[in-house]
Structure 1
Amino acid sequence: MKRALIISTTLATGFALLAGTAMAHQSGGQMGGKGMRGGMMAPFEDIDADGDGKITQAEIDAHRAAKFAEADTDGDGALSAEELAAAAEKREAERRANMGQRMLDRLDANKDGKITADEMPGNDADRAKSMIERLDTDGDGAVSQAELDAAKQMRGPRGEGKGERGFGKKSH
């Protein structure tokens, strides 16, 4: 039973590793972004080996074979649980690096390649002032725990009845 579970898990993970290319081909060229469940897709250019702007079945097969060979680190023609885990870790590291670069591109207002505290989201003084004004029901210029708790109650379960940013309006 345990062996069957390991084999089926290994096969399922292997198919998931290789399915991205086929899904990318079926997406009508919408690659390089997110798949049906948010998974990474191979960029179009990576599959279009001859650079002619078209993906053929031969290019898909070659790309798939190359990805399999890359994951098959011991070269035995099969993917072990360790090889699948290593391939998944590599994809996750690449995803995180890409996410970090996109965040830097989006937040780095002065384009110096670094994000300062002033460039971080939520550092907007007007926004903070607006939040305090919305939540400060007694008008003392500050938000108490009781005021915060009351605002959370007004949100209701799962954000029902929420106003701007989920606070400040009662549900009807």
Structure 2
Amino acid sequence: MKKISIAIVSGILVVSGAGMAIAQTIPQGPGPLKGGHPGWTQGMGHGKHGSMGMFRELMDADGDGNISKQEIAKFHEDRINQADRNKDGSLSLEEFDVMQEALMEEAKKLHLKKKFDRLDANGDGRVSAEEMTAHHGMMFDRMDRNDDGMIGPDDRPHKKK
């Protein structure tokens, strides 16, 4: 029974760790944009830390935390030029698919690198069991809101009425 409980808690920590990692790596947008559209990371695919949030950092060419229309235009121009195999200035469905796959892979690598760097506490380019355990222990402590050494229904945040 104890082994099953440890396995369940480990699974919860891994899944929550991925979510927390995404939350910590993606800069938050300003909230609703003009016209009532959601902010950069809200309502754009996968909750408030959606795929648009991952691409935000890729588009922010000068790294100032903001994305200008010029940065977006340059980002798209560069990606289209890379994917436009026949150099006709536009993308076919196949070329568009290749571009989307490349963008997703680039975002995935960025996310993976940030997550790895967060776990690599001593900066040696390797993640040890101790570093991973310490990181997940910290997350466990955050999730264990009632400090009973277990994560259960009592630790869930209370919804505001």
User: What is the TM-score of this pair, normalised by structure 1?
Assistant: 0.43
Larger Rg: 1
User: What is the TM-score of this pair, normalised by structure 2?
Assistant: 0.46
Higher relative contact order, structure no. (Cα contacts within 8 Å, ≥ 6 residues apart): 2
